[in-house]
């Protein structure tokens, strides 16, 4: 029954995504509502310890993939303001919100500061989802700034949350040392594990389908666990690890993107659904006032003060700062940290979980709906905005693909100009590698023997899945040691590719000899 329950949730989540795409309502808000509805129908789930483990794992994946998806070429120009907001911005917002809760809502000082810390960071999932789904290309590289800030500010909120939980529990800790270890070990181990990862994959052959994604999962879990063990910030280490390897090029990158795209979507659904499921409708009602007041205060006071004050040194524009202030949506991290605080054993005089619930609910609804509207109202939408990407990005995210072709002795393309070749094909020669140098080809560029051409064109997808067949030439197979021209095969059959020694790809012709253990890819009509 539990598996059936999970299946129903996932199907309803897919329906919620379709509704979101058509209505403009933030998808994560619908997942939250879905959890509440299950609560109303009598599903009684109050296991905060299990929820804490799920939330922790979910946030680990979100942090890693947030870093992995960051295009550092676009991020570099706005790294200064983004990192400032991700660190000092979270501290300022948390302290301002906490002090307001203490002074005007009557909360205990340290519990108020804990609440401010829990909701101090912005939500990468919500921000990136709105930017992508609404196709919000923002002026002044603002989209990249928001993605870096929201992707990297959770570790700061986590550190503040740990500090105030420790104070409430009256643990004897050195706060400066704790903060130093969290930052130093988090950044250091993230880079170190990224460096080790890139070294390992150059020697470790993981050609089997799916194994590379499993290996990355192992590295991810190992990085977090090791960093946590030595007192560092595991979330920060994962974000740095993601940035490091996400901006490197490696063979299985496409596989990783597809796998973690799906997994990240799944854990986001799980987190927001879990928040709704853990909630108590009666307690939600009692927390409405505090949650709504705090959300409005953060939207209109705490976040704008932090943004305008800290970005003043970077001389950002007023309307850009205003949009950045509105984009401070609270979500996944706040949920995870609220559950962590409840499980900490701290004796809290406030219903922290349900207050955070209401803040996330209204933040997602109001700010998520305001962003597209204000983008156009403030004239921050840039239809001509461009995004720098690698060749790999277009192979991963679009039907456009790249292949390489080496110009050998006797090729009909030798000493020909690009313009003499391209008119005959629906493709483009994107770049030429010659003697270790890259040449940007023009129509008059002459192709030389020994050149490596990178050729781009639209990829073909076999929807039937029946046209290509792969066979392995085992010992005794009649094709072993024969030339393709000597094979007696049907006229409607073509050998299109040979994989030799599990790594070398051979594009065959009639003079190609087949060897034992070759994997032959055949096209059949």
Last residue of a domain, one of 323, 342, 377: 377
Residue 22 inside a domain? The answer is no
Residue range(s) defining the domain that contains residue 418:
391-458
Report pLDDT for 62. Answer: 87
Q: Are residues 335 and 478 in the same domain?
A: no
172 and 196 within one domain: yes
Give the DSSP per-residue string, 368-403.
Answer: HHHHHHHHHHTT-B-TT------HHHHHHHSSEEEE
| Structure confidence at residue 498 (pLDDT) | 87
Query: Of the candidates 414, 429, 458, which is a domain's last residue?
Result: 458
Please answer whether residues 500 and 515 qualify as being in contact, where contact means their C-beta atoms are separated by less than 8 angstroms: yes
Residue 25 lies in a domain: no
The pLDDT value given to residue 207: 58
- As a three-state string, the secondary structure of 304-342 is HHHHHHHHHHHCCCHHHHHHHHHCCCCCHHHHHHHHHHH
Kindly state whether residue 3 falls inside one of the protein's structural domains.
no
In a domain, 38, yes or no: no
Quick check: is 7 in a domain?
no
Query: Would you say 34 and 276 are in contact if contact means Cβ atoms under 8 Å apart?
Result: yes
**Those residues with Cβ within 8 angstroms of residue 262's Cβ, 6 or more apart along the chain or in another chain:** none
Q: Are 118 and 334 in contact (CB under 8 A)?
A: yes
**Which DSSP category does 208 fall into?**
S
* Residue 349 belongs to a domain: yes
Number of domains in the chain: 3
Measure CA 179 to chain center: 26
Examine the domain organization and report whether 268 and 322 are in the same domain.
Answer: yes
Per-residue model confidence (pLDDT) at position 297: 97
Query: 0.85 cut: is pTM over it?
Result: no
Q: How far apart are CA 238 and CA 224, in angstroms?
A: 7
Please state the separation of Cα 471 from the chain's center in Å. Answer: 37
Q: How far apart are CA 160 and CA 155, in angstroms?
A: 9
Could you say which DSSP state residue 303 is in?
H
Domain final residue, candidates 354, 377, 400: 377
What is the structure's pLDDT at 194?
94
Do 435 and 329 lie in a common domain?
no
The span from the CA of 243 to the CA of 231, in Å, is: 21
Cα(264)–Cα(238) distance, rounded to whole angstroms?
14
Query: Using CA atoms, how far apart are residues 194 and 187, in angstroms rounded to an integer?
Result: 11
- Distances in Å between the Cα of 236 and the Cα atoms of 61, 220, 228, 270, 521 are 12, 12, 10, 22, 44
Q: Cβ-count burial of 412 within 10 angstroms (0-12 exposed, 13-18 middle, 19+ buried)? A: exposed
In angstroms, what is the C-alpha Rg of the chain?
Answer: 27
CATH number at 399 reads 3.30.70.1450
Q: Return all residues near 223 (Cβ < 8 A) that are at least 6 apart.
A: 189, 190, 193, 234, 237, 238, 241
Residues 220 and 241 in one domain: yes
Q: Is residue 262 part of a domain?
A: yes
- At a CB cut-off of 8 Å and minimum separation 6, what does 352 contact? 111, 114, 115, 118, 338, 341, 342
Angle of helix 253-278 versus helix 352-362 axis, rounded to 10: 120
Question: Do 330 and 398 sit in the same domain of this protein?
Answer: no
Residue 397 has, within 13 A of its CA and on its CB side, a CA count of 10
End-to-end CA distance of the chain: 45
- Please give the Cα distance from 35 to 459 (Å, whole number): 40
Q: Per-residue confidence of the chain (525 residues) as pLDDT tens digits?
A: 567 767 877 787 778 777 766 666 666 677 878 888 887 776 777 778 888 888 889 889 988 988 888 877 777 888 899 999 999 999 999 999 999 999 999 999 999 999 999 999 998 777 877 777 666 778 888 888 888 898 889 999 999 999 999 999 998 888 899 999 999 999 999 999 999 998 888 777 665 556 788 888 999 999 999 999 999 999 999 999 999 998 887 777 777 777 887 788 788 888 888 888 888 888 989 999 999 999 999 999 999 999 999 999 998 999 999 999 999 899 878 988 999 999 988 889 999 999 999 998 899 888 888 888 888 888 888 766 544 444 444 445 556 677 788 888 888 888 888 888 765 567 788 888 888 888 888 888 899 999 998 888 776 666 555 667 778 888 778 888 888 888 888 777 888 888 888 777 888 888 888 888 888 888 776
Query: How far is it, in rounded angstroms, from Cα 335 to Cα 275?
Result: 7
Q: Are residues 360 and 224 in the same domain?
A: yes
Buried b / exposed e along 476-503 (16+ C-beta atoms within 10 A)? ebebeebebeeeeeeeeeebeebbeeee
Distances (CA, A) of 197 to 189, 215, 238, 247: 12, 10, 13, 13
Domain for residue 17, yes or no?
no
């Amino acid at each position: 029954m539990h598996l059936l329950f999970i299946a129903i949730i996932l199907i309803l989540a897919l329906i919620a995504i379709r509704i979101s795409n058509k209505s403009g309502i933030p998808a994560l808000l619908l997942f939250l509502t879905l959890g509440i509805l299950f609560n109303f129908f009598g599903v009684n789930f109050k296991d905060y310890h299990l929820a804490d483990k799920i939330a922790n794992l979910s946030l680990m994946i979100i942090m890693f993939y947030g870093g992995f998806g960051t295009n550092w070429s676009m991020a570099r120009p706005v790294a200064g303001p983004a990192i400032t907001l991700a660190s000092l911005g979270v501290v300022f917002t948390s302290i301002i919100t906490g002090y307001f809760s203490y002074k005007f809502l009557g909360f205990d000082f340290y519990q108020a500061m804990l609440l401010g810390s829990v909701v101090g960071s912005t939500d990468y999932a919500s921000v990136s989802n709105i930017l992508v789904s609404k196709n919000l290309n923002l002026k002044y590289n603002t989209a990249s700034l928001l993605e870096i800030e929201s992707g990297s500010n959770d570790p700061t909120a986590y550190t503040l949350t740990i500090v105030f939980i420790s104070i409430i529990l009256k643990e004897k800790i050195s706060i400066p040392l704790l903060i130093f270890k969290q930052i130093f070990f988090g950044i250091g181990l993230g880079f170190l594990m990224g460096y080790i990862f890139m070294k390992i994959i150059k020697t470790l052959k993981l050609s089997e389908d799916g194994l590379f994604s499993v290996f990355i999962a192992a590295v991810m879990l190992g990085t977090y666990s090791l960093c946590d063990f030595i007192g560092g910030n595991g979330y920060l280490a994962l974000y740095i690890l993601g940035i490091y390897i996400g901006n490197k090029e490696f063979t299985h990158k496409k596989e990783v993107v597809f796998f973690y795209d799906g997994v990240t979507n799944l854990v986001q659904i799980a987190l927001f659904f879990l928040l709704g499921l853990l909630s108590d409708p009666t307690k939600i009602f009692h927390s409405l006032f505090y949650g709504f007041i705090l959300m409005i205060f953060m939207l209109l006071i705490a976040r704008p003060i932090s943004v305008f004050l800290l970005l003043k040194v970077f001389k950002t524009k007023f309307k850009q700062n205003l949009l950045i202030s509105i984009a401070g949506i609270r979500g996944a991290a706040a949920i995870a940290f609220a559950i962590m605080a409840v499980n900490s054993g701290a004796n809290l005089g406030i219903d922290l979980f349900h207050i955070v619930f209401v803040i996330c609910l209204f933040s997602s609804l109001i700010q998520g709906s305001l962003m597209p509207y204000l983008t156009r109202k403030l004239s921050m939408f840039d239809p001509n905005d461009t995004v720098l990407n690698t060749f790999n990005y277009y192979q991963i995210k679009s039907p456009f693909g790249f292949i390489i072709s080496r110009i050998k002795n006797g090729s009909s393309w030798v000493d020909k100009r690009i313009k003499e070749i391209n008119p005959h094909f629906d493709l483009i020669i994107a770049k030429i590698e010659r003697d270790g140098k890259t040449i940007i080809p023009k129509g008059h560029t002459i192709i030389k023997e020994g050149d490596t051409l990178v050729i781009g064109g639209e990829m073909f997808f076999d929807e039937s899945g029946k046209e290509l067949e792969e066979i392995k030439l085992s010992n005794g197979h009649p094709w072993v040691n024969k030339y393709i021209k000597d094979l007696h095969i049907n006229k409607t059959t073509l050998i299109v590719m040979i994989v030799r020694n599990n790594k070398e790809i051979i594009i065959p012709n009639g003079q190609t000899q087949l060897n034992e253990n070759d994997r032959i890819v055949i096209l059949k009509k």
